[in-house]
Amino acid sequence: MSLQKILRLPKKRDSKLVESRFEPKRLSSEIPGVVFREYTLPEYPLVRIVLSDEKGNGCYTVVEPELSDEQKRLYSLLLEKLYFGLKPTQEMIRDPVKYVEENLLSIADEIGFGEEVRQNRDVLMYYVKREVGYGICEIPFRDPLVEEIECHGFITPVTVVLRGSEYPRLTTNIIFESEDELARFAEKLSERTGRSPNRANPIVEGVLPEGHRIAVTYSDEVSRPGTTWDVRKFPERPFTAPELIKYGTITPLIAAYLWLLLEAKRFVLIVGATGSGKTTLLNALLTLLHPHSKIVTIEDTAELKLYHKNWERFFTRKASYIGTKEIDMNDLVSVSLRYRPDYIIVGEVRGKEIATLVQAVATGHGGMTSFHGGDTKDVFTRVTGLVPELAEEFKSELAATVVIRRIQNPNTGRVERKVVEVDEISYEEGRTDVTPVFTWNFEQERFFLMDSKEDLTTEAAASLLIARSKQLQLSSQLLGLTLTQLREAFIERANLLSSAVKNGVVEYGVFSQMVVDYYLNKRRGEKK
């Protein structure tokens, strides 16, 4: 994409005065209600982010630096040069913000305002970087605390969801004043995913260069009053299993249990409402798979991030007006079988592709997917509705469901993601048994393991699980381990995860090396 497209020329082209052709729009800095927190981002030290409460509603106010008339003139001249005076280079297109960071002063020298720009460097750098970045939404896009940015239409304030906040969403001071301004922003956003919306194709779903997922409805074709968009931000690197343990989403015992089922190539399904953390948990569990496994992932948008060497990524494709055929999840599950996968992972199943996935896992492939729903019962009902002829096979292949929810911590008031139940499914002669293996007890704020109401040591938990879990017993046969060996493997894994958390090993690279070492040592041990 050219810089011209990134910047977008303002409509007022008739102005003869170059100095005022580009005018930065400064956000209103009025802070509503009572301030309870304030911070800055390292790369934007001049901008304050103020969190406040107005009658129980959370507010996220971006307080930008003021600009003098002289600074506005320099800003316009710099953008004029960026827009009209530079030939687009690869470097500029790949990362326009970095390009501006590195070249602003030399551009200023070229236009003969080097000294003036140097004197006003910080303010100008912020506004120019903002312009080539995400415009008035730059700060929430860069703020790692923001996990979702939602634009409901022009004139209505953009809202954000903040990680670990007690407010489900916060209102910002970021407002698109007209449909035209908003539509142009949505075009810019979409183009960064390689797509361009128009009235014929008003819906865009894609992934931004930073890895964030976007959805856009363009103009008033399918949304009122007009354009809307939503950005799901992901941390720069995926959460690892120890990180989710640290945040209380899962425990070492839950992770060790699922790890063994996955290693035995059993079929595991994560179920939860929208935004409950399904994809994140799926990704974290994938980090536990043997580093040499061949994993095929199938998604609509590129959300999963793996570091396995043998990772194949497939994406669905919509039919286009120039005649390209739609490729759906079903097509991709079928083709993935030709790739000799150890695991087939479907980011999220919504339709009949569940049937093909079930057949794939029935032929000995490991599988994992996620599903929109409230609990295990929902999964059965929906799958029976979708593919009645395969409902029985589905239940007999499914080893466990993991139910995840966003819940409010009663002590801190913060919204957290929690696995509230892990159910084991056993299917015998037409009868399906659902056994809760781990259950989050809301009153006591701890997990119960099966029907044991007290805290168990890892060893005691392992003994109970091996004695009672049919899926673990089946996994021991599939892995060629005796029950005693499987019990040991469970303890080793739970201890490895606990020690990773204790020693602060949460970063992906370091933790995955720990997993590699674990598998290597095990192999060496077996050879002795």
Ligand X SMILES: Nc1ncnc2c1ncn2[C@@H]1O[C@H](COP(=O)(O)OP(=O)(O)OP(=O)(O)O)[C@@H](O)[C@H]1O
**Residues at the interface with ligand X (CB under 6 A):** 147, 163, 232-235, 244, 247, 249, 272, 274-280, 417
Q: Which residues contact 106 (CB under 8 A, 6 or more apart)?
A: none
Quote the least distance from Cβ 346 to ligand X, whole Å.
Answer: 13
Report which residue type is found at 426.
S
Which is it for strands 267-272 and 398-408: parallel, antiparallel or unpaired? parallel
Quote the least distance from Cβ 146 to ligand X, whole Å.
Answer: 9
Quote the least distance from Cβ 80 to ligand X, whole Å.
Answer: 38
**Binding at 274: pick from ligand X, Mg ion, none (beta carbon under 5-8 Å per type):** ligand X
**Binding at 308: pick from Mg ion, ligand X, none (beta carbon under 5-8 Å per type):** none
How deeply is 309 buried, as exposed, middle or buried, from its count of CB atoms within 10 A (0-12, 13-18, 19+)?
A: exposed
Quote the least distance from Cβ 15 to Mg ion, whole Å.
Answer: 46
Give the nearest residue (CB) to Mg ion: 279
In 141-235, where do the E strands start and end?
146-151, 159-162, 170-172, 203-207, 213-217, 228-232
What sign does the dihedral 410-411-414-419 (CA atoms) show?
A: negative
Of 356 and 369, which CB lies nearer to Mg ion in the complex structure?
Answer: 369
Structure-token pair, residue 6: 């990134």
Of 165 and 475, which CB lies nearer to ligand X in the complex structure?
Answer: 165
Give the nearest residue (CB) to ligand X: 277
What sign does the dihedral 386-389-395-396 (CA atoms) show?
A: negative
Quote the least distance from Cβ 160 to ligand X, whole Å.
Answer: 11
Quote the least distance from Cβ 486 to Mg ion, whole Å.
Answer: 31
Closest CA to 288 of 526, 493, 504, 522: 493
**Binding at 487: pick from Mg ion, ligand X, none (beta carbon under 5-8 Å per type):** none
Kind plus residue range of the DSSP H or E element containing 102: helix 96-110
Of 31 and 215, which CB lies nearer to ligand X in the complex structure?
Answer: 215
Of 125 and 295, which CB lies nearer to Mg ion in the complex structure?
Answer: 295
**Binding at 436: pick from Mg ion, ligand X, none (beta carbon under 5-8 Å per type):** none
Of 227 and 370, which CB lies nearer to Mg ion in the complex structure?
Answer: 370
**Binding at 285: pick from ligand X, Mg ion, none (beta carbon under 5-8 Å per type):** none
Structure-token pair, residue 334: 């079928």
How many angstroms separate the Cα of 216 from the Cα of each of 196, 204, 289, 349, 492?
A: 10, 5, 34, 21, 46
Assign 303 to helix, strand or coil.
Answer: coil
Q: For residues 476 and 486, give the distance between their C-alpha atoms in angstroms, rounded to a whole number.
A: 6
Quote the least distance from Cβ 303 to ligand X, whole Å.
Answer: 7
- DSSP letter string, 327-338: B-HHHHHHHHGG
Of 173 and 279, which CB lies nearer to Mg ion in the complex structure?
Answer: 279
Quote the least distance from Cβ 289 to ligand X, whole Å.
Answer: 18
3-state DSSP of 481-498? CCHHHHHHHHHHHHHHHH
Of 76 and 159, which CB lies nearer to ligand X in the complex structure?
Answer: 159
The separation between the first and the last C-alpha atoms of the chain, rounded to the nearest angstrom, is 58
Quote the least distance from Cβ 295 to ligand X, whole Å.
Answer: 18
**Binding at 232: pick from Mg ion, ligand X, none (beta carbon under 5-8 Å per type):** ligand X
Quote the least distance from Cβ 282 to ligand X, whole Å.
Answer: 8
Q: Which residues bind Mg ion (CB under 5 A)?
A: 278-279
| Bond prior to 225 in cis (omega within 30° of 0) | yes
Of 147 and 187, which CB lies nearer to ligand X in the complex structure?
Answer: 147
**Binding at 280: pick from ligand X, Mg ion, none (beta carbon under 5-8 Å per type):** ligand X
Of 71 and 249, which CB lies nearer to Mg ion in the complex structure?
Answer: 249
Of 90 and 274, which CB lies nearer to ligand X in the complex structure?
Answer: 274
Q: For residues 472 and 474, give the distance between their C-alpha atoms in angstroms, rounded to a whole number.
A: 5
Q: For residues 519 and 270, give the distance between their C-alpha atoms in angstroms, rounded to a whole number.
A: 25
Closest CA to 142 of 41, 249, 30, 22: 41
